[in-house]
A and B are shown apart, each in its own frame.
Chain A
C-alpha cells in the first residue's frame, strides 16, 4: 500500500512507501517512529478515514478500497474504534452520553440496550460516579478513559489508538494503557497503539517501527495472515 499527497501535481509527496502489514485478531501492536514518519497516516488509512493511493486494505477479510463512502462509514462505525491523543469527546454531552454516541447514530439499538452497554463500559473504565458529568468537569485521564469506553461502544474488532497517553501524566498514562490491555485480553479486540514511550511499547505483544514511510520491524516478527484470518491486512 502506498499513500501520496497532491497526486499528479508538481509538489506530489509519497508519505508511505509500499506498506505491507498483517494484524491478527487479538494482536496488541505498538507503532513507534519519529515525528513525520507516517504513523498517523498509516493509522488513518487502516481506520478507513483516508484512501491509499495504491494497494488494498482489508478489515476482517473485507476488501475496502472499492467501497463507497456510505459503506465505508458504516464499516468504520461498526468495526473500528478510535482513541486519539486529544480525547475529542463531545463537550455538549455527559460522559455516559459520549459513550452512547456511536450506538445512537447507528439506529440499531434500543434505548435500554444503549444505556445498558454504555453504563457497563463506563463501569469498566471505572467512571460510574462521574457518568453524568459534562466532559469539561472531568480530568484529562478521566476524559481519555471515557474516550476508550466510547471507542469500545460498538464492540469493534479493531481499536486504533494514536498516542492516547501523550497528554497524560505517568499515572494516568499507565491507567489508560492498563485499560487497553484489559480490553485486549477480555474482549479480544485487535489494538494498534501509537506511542513515543518505549516503556509502554515494550509492554505490547509486538512493535512496529515506521521510519520515513516504511515499516521496519523490531523484535517479534509480525506474522503474515492466512486467507480468512480475522484482523487487518494492508498490501
Chain B
C-alpha cells in the first residue's frame, strides 16, 4: 500500500559509479541488518589478526633485540685444527688408525686485516669489528675470579654491541689501562668505578687495570664473567701480539645472518657462526611461534571467507527473482557475476576497516593495561601502516574469493526459474 506523505529518504543514485557498483551497494544497504552482522563478524576476525600480529611480531622483535644485545649477528673465528690420518694409498690395503681430536689452542685469524676488508666490502654487512677473546684471572685482595676477557676497538665494537647503553655506573671509556666489568663481578670483588684490578692472562702476562665502568647485560652469568678492555691490552694478556681471535659482524637483515655467514665461510679461511646457529633453540622457538601465528591467521581468514560466502549464498536465494528480472531486462551473466563479487569485496573491505579500528583500539588499551611495576610497557608493539594496508588488501581479496561460488550461482540462474521462484 502507498505510504502517502514524506518521500523516501534514499541516497542519491551515485550514477558516476558503474552499474554493478550501484546495484551491489544497494543490495547490501537493503539488507542492512544482515550486512551489519557479517561486517561485524569480519571485523572481529580482522581485529584478532591485527591484534595478534602486532603483539607477536613486537614480542619477537623485542626478544631478538634482547638476545642480540650482547652478541654479534655473525662471529668469525679461526678455522679449527683437524687431524687427518696418514694414508699410503696402497691398493688392497686398509689402514686402521685411532685419531684423537686435537686441542684447540688459542690462535688468531690468519691475515685478519684482509678478511676484515673483504667482509666490510659486502653490501649486507653493516659493521665488522676485530676482537681478542681469552680467559684470565682477576685478583683483588684475597679474592680471585676467572673471567672471560674481550679486547676490542670501542668505535667499532660499540656499533655491534651497544655496550654504552648497558653501563650502569661510570662510563664506557676504554684506554689502554681501562676495564669494564659486570655488576655481578663488581659485587663479588667488592669494587666500584675507579678501583684497580690485577689481571693475569692465560699467556702469563700480568697487568693492572682501572675499572672505568660497570655494565649490566641482563644475564647473571655474563655479568659474573665478561670483561671488556682495549684491543692492545687483550693482545698482551693473551700473548697474541697483533692478532685477533674473532671478527664480530653486524648485518642489515638479522634473519639473513646464517646465509651471509655461509657465504663468508665459502670465500674466506674462517669459521663463521651466525646468531641463528649459536641460538638454535631460541630461533626454532621463534620460527615455531611464527608458524603458529600464520596458521591462526589462515584459519581466522578461512572462517571469515566462509562467513561471507554463506551470507552471499543466502543473498542469491533471496534475490533470485530480482536476478531473473535483471536478466530479463538485458543484464548479462557477467554483470550479475560482478554484482555479487563486488558485494563480497565490499563486505571484506568494510569488515577490514572496522576490524583495523577495533584491533588498534584493543592494542592501545592492552598497552595501557599491561605495564611493569616501574610503569614501563611490558610489550613492544609493531604498529605499521604496512600491517593495516596488508590486512585491508587481504580481507578484500578474501571477500572477493569467498564470493566466487555464490556469484557463479547467481550468474547461472535460469531467468525463467528465478522469476517464478
Complex contact B322–A90 (CB within 8 A): yes
Contacts of A142 in B (CB 8 A): 2
A132 touching B10 in the complex, CB below 8 Å, given contacts A78-B330, A139-B1: yes
Note all chain A residues with C-beta closer than 8 A to B333. 69-70, 73
Chain B residue, CB-CB nearest to A129:
B7
Min CB–CB distance A227 → chain B (angstroms): 27
Residues A153-208 near B (CB distance < 8 A): 153-154
| B 67-95 to A, binary, CB cutoff 8 A, 1 in contact else 0 | 00000000000000000000000000000
Please provide the chain B residues from 309 to 337 with a CB less than 8 Å away from any CB of chain A in the complex: 321-322, 324-335
Query: A133 within 8 Å of B by Cβ?
Result: yes
Report the Cα distance A195→B330, complex, angstroms: 25
Q: How far is the CA of A132 from the CA of B329 in the complex (A)?
A: 21
Query: Which of chain B's residues has its CB closest to A130's CB?
Result: B2
Render B325-365 as a binary contact track against A, CB cut-off 8 A, 1 for contact.
11111111111000000000000000000000000000000
Contact flags A88-109 to B (C-beta < 8 A → 1, else 0): 1111111001001110111100
* Interface membership of B8, Cβ < 8 A: yes
In the complex, A20→B240 CA distance in Å? Answer: 111
B416 close to A50 (CB less than 8 A): yes
Q: Is residue A39 within 8 Å, beta carbon to beta carbon, of the partner chain?
A: no
Question: Do the beta carbons of A105 and B331 come within 8 Å of each other?
Answer: yes
Q: Which range contains the number of A residues in contact with the other chain?
A: 35 or more
Distance A132 CA – B1 CA, assembled complex (angstroms): 16
> CA–CA, A77 to B331, complex, Å?
7
Q: How far is the CB of A14 from chain B (nearest CB, A)?
A: 17
CB proximity of B22 to chain A, nearest CB, Å: 7
What band does the interface of chain B fall in when counting residues whose beta carbon is under 8 Å from A? 20 to 34
Q: Are B10 and A74 in contact (CB under 8 A)?
A: no
Provide the residues of chain A in CB contact with B126, threshold 8 Å. Answer: none
Check B15–A107 contact: CB distance below 8 A.
no
Question: B53-65 toward A: CB 8 Å interface, digit per residue (1/0)?
Answer: 0000000000000
Tell me if A138 counts as interface (CB < 8 A to partner B).
Answer: yes
Q: Is B220's beta carbon under 8 Å from chain A?
A: no
In the complex, the chain A residue whose C-beta lies closest to that of B334 is A70
Q: Which of B2, B29, B329, B416 contacts A105 (CB 8 A)?
A: B329
Q: Knowing A134-B8, A139-B2 are in contact, say whether A88-B322 is a contact too (CB < 8 A).
A: yes
Interface status of B374 (Cβ within 8 A of chain A)? no
Question: Could you jot down 10 A-B contacts, CB within 8 Å?
Answer: A73-B327, A88-B322, A90-B23, A94-B8, A104-B15, A111-B15, A132-B10, A133-B7, A137-B8, A139-B1
What are the 7 A-B residue pairs with the smallest beta carbon separation, nearest first? A77-B330, A92-B30, A92-B26, A134-B8, A137-B3, A102-B329, A139-B2
Interface residues of B (CB under 8 A from A): 1-3, 7-8, 10, 13, 15, 19, 22-23, 26-27, 29-30, 321-322, 324-335, 415-416, 419
